[in-house]
C-alpha cells in the first residue's frame, strides 16, 4: 500500500514542479538560466529539512505518510537529473558563469536551506513543548 501513497504523492510533486517551472519561466522571460529547477530544488531542500526534523522526529504521522511526502512529493518535486542536464547545457553553450552560479547556488543554497528548514522546525517544536 505504501507504494500507492508514494505514487500519488509523486504525481502531485511532479505537477507542482512543472507548474512552478512554467510560472517562473514566464516571469523570467524564458531566460537561458534554469530558474525553475533551481527554485524547485531549493524549496525542496528546505521542505525536506523541515519535514525530517519537525514531522519525522515527532512521531505524529505514520511512516507510510512520511515516506509518501518525502520520497513521493518532495522527491518528484526536486530533480537532480534535470539539474545535471541543465548544467551540461549551460556548459555546452559556453555560459560558464551561469553554469558555475547554478552549481554553486544549488549546492550551497540547498545545504543552507536544508539546515534552515531543520532549524525552523526545531525552534517551533521547542516552543510548543515549553522549551526555548
User: Are 44 and 74 within 8 A, CB to CB?
Assistant: yes
- As a three-state string, the secondary structure of 51-97 is HHHHHHCCCCCCHHHHHHHHHHHHHHHCCHHHHHHHHHHHHHCCCHH
**And the C-alpha cell for 111?**
545545504
Q: How far apart are CA 20 and CA 107, in angstroms?
A: 20
In 3D space, the residue among 62, 77, 59 whose CA is nearest the CA of residue 9 turns out to be 77
In this predicted model, what pLDDT tens digit does every residue of 25-77 receive, in sequence order?
A: 888 886 788 999 999 999 999 999 988 888 766 777 888 888 999 999 999 99
- Phi/psi at 125 (5° precision): -70, -40
**And the C-alpha cell for 82?**
534535470
Q: How far apart are CA 109 and CA 54, in angstroms?
A: 20
What's the predicted TM-score (pTM) here?
0.83
- Phi/psi at 126 (5° precision): -65, -40
In this predicted model, what pLDDT tens digit does every residue of 6-26 receive, in sequence order?
A: 999 999 999 999 999 999 988
Amino acid at each position: 500500500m505504501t507504494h500507492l501513497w508514494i505514487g500519488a504523492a509523486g504525481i502531485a510533486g511532479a505537477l507542482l514542479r512543472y507548474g512552478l517551472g512554467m510560472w517562473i519561466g514566464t516571469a523570467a522571460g524564458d531566460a537561458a538560466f534554469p530558474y525553475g529547477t533551481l527554485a524547485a530544488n531549493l524549496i525542496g531542500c528546505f521542505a525536506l529539512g523541515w519535514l525530517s526534523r519537525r514531522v519525522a522526529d515527532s512521531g505524529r504521522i505514520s511512516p507510510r505518510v512520511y515516506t509518501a511526502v518525502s520520497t513521493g512529493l518532495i522527491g518528484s518535486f526536486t530533480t537532480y537529473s534535470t539539474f545535471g542536464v541543465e548544467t551540461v547545457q549551460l556548459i555546452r553553450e559556453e555560459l560558464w558563469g551561469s553554469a558555475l552560479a547554478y552549481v554553486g547556488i544549488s549546492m550551497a543554497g540547498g545545504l543552507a536551506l536544508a539546515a534552515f528548514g531543520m532549524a525552523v522546525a526545531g525552534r517551533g517544536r521547542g516552543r510548543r513543548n515549553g522549551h526555548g
